[in-house]
Chains A and B, each alone.
Chain A
Amino acid sequence: MIPTAYTEKEKNMVFQSEMLPHLDSMYNFAFRLTLDEDDAKDLVQDTYLKAFRFINSFEKGTNAKAWLFRILKNSFINDFRKKSKEPSKVDYQEVETFYNSEEFDNEIEATSDLRSESVQDLIGDEVANAINSLEVDFRIAIILCDIEGFTYEEMAKILDIPIGTVRSRLHRARGLLKEKLSSYAKKMGYLQKS
């Protein structure tokens, strides 16, 4: 790819108009990777600084969000994960045990209105817990495809892997997620009665 030679003014304009609007998605992606608000903030800052430094390698008119996600993912894998504290596995196991427990089931069944805020929060937590417990490569695949809506081709570029690997990784990730979430999907009436 031929680098674009932006003037200083153009650099700032491209950064303002094409990069900064993705701040919300970037922060959410960073949080899903680091599982920590402070770490997510640092990772997003690092990513934006790198994006600005290397902005000449961004071709105007191409997908800025995919370009930024690629930098963020690489920063996380190469630099950040090594420095950052590992998320506490014990905490997640405890959470998982609770959500798979009868206590959780009873709590849901005891509430007559499934749309109540507390039950909705529990479902949200359960979904987050299921995603967070996936190994990071699988977690990234689900976030990029099912939450951010990237195409297989964009995912292949973000992850630096062939499209065939994108498909097989998604397949595996979805299988794992299904094991964790299908009983909740049924319980919450997301599945049609057959």
Chain B
Amino acid sequence: MTSDKNFHEKNEMKQSSDPCNCCCLDSLYTILDGEASEENTEELMAHIEKCLPCYQQYDLEVAIRELLQTRLAKKCPPQDLLDCIREKIASITITQ
């Protein structure tokens, strides 16, 4: 199975703890923010799969983004806010 091959490759690479100088955090952000081209995304994702420091960095960035998107409570606007806005707009329209 190809997944076995990938698993071994990944494990081999993961044993390396050399610092990664091949890509920067900014490239990672452009991918996570959907701002990178398809080609760059594929290239960097392939790299992340094989490079431990980049893989850990990516993992952390994804985790923090998930925390922000799922754990930050959404506030409900006060019930009367919409009515207040409508009333004020109506009074502007009348005075004009």
Q: Is B75 interfacial (CB 8 A cutoff)?
A: yes
Note all chain A residues with C-beta closer than 8 A to B85: 20, 23, 44-45, 48-49
Q: Are A151 and B67 in contact (CB under 8 A)?
A: no
| Main DSSP-derived SS at the A contact region | helix
Minimum Cβ distance to chain A for residue B7 (Å): 13
| Neighbour of B92 across the interface among A41, A52, A124, A178, CB < 8 A | A52
Note all chain B residues with C-beta closer than 8 A to A37: 75, 78
Note all chain A residues with C-beta closer than 8 A to B52: 194
Q: Are A41 and B78 in contact (CB under 8 A)?
A: yes
Q: Are B81 and A191 in contact (CB under 8 A)?
A: no
Total interface residues on B, using CB and 8 Å? 36
Given contacts A45-B88, A182-B60, A190-B63, A127 and B26 within 8 Å (CB-CB): no
Note all chain A residues with C-beta closer than 8 A to B92: 49, 52-53
Q: Are B73 and A185 in contact (CB under 8 A)?
A: no
Q: Is A145 interfacial (CB 8 A cutoff)?
A: yes
Residues 16-35 of chain B: 1 if any A CB is under 8 Å from the residue's CB, otherwise 0?
A: 00000000011001000111
Given contacts A24-B74, A178-B60, A147 and B68 within 8 Å (CB-CB): yes
Total interface residues on A, using CB and 8 Å? 46
Q: Are A27 and B29 in contact (CB under 8 A)?
A: no
Q: Are A12 and B59 in contact (CB under 8 A)?
A: no
| Neighbour of A20 across the interface among B55, B64, B82, CB < 8 A | B82
Given contacts A20-B85, A151-B35, A128 and B63 within 8 Å (CB-CB): no
- The residues in B between 50 and 96 inclusive whose CB is less than 8 angstroms from any CB of A are 52, 55-56, 59-61, 63-69, 71-78, 81-82, 84-85, 88-89, 92-93
Note all chain A residues with C-beta closer than 8 A to B33: 145, 151-152, 170
Q: Is A60 interfacial (CB 8 A cutoff)?
A: no
- The residues in A between 169 and 194 inclusive whose CB is less than 8 angstroms from any CB of B are 170-171, 174, 177-178, 181-182, 184-185, 188, 190-192, 194
Q: Are A27 and B68 in contact (CB under 8 A)?
A: no
| Neighbour of A185 across the interface among B26, B35, B64, B93, CB < 8 A | B64
What are the nearest 6 A-B pairs in CB distance? Answer: A190-B63, A27-B77, A185-B63, A127-B71, A48-B85, A124-B71
Additional A-B contact list (4), CB under 8 Å, known A126-B71, A178-B64, A185-B60: A27-B81, A41-B78, A45-B84, A185-B64
Q: List 20 A-B contacts (CB under 8 A).
A: A20-B82, A20-B85, A27-B77, A27-B81, A44-B77, A44-B81, A45-B88, A48-B89, A49-B92, A52-B92, A127-B71, A128-B73, A131-B68, A147-B72, A151-B34, A170-B33, A171-B25, A178-B64, A182-B63, A188-B67
Residues of B whose CB lies within 8 Å of any CB of A are 14, 25-26, 29, 33-35, 52, 55-56, 59-61, 63-69, 71-78, 81-82, 84-85, 88-89, 92-93
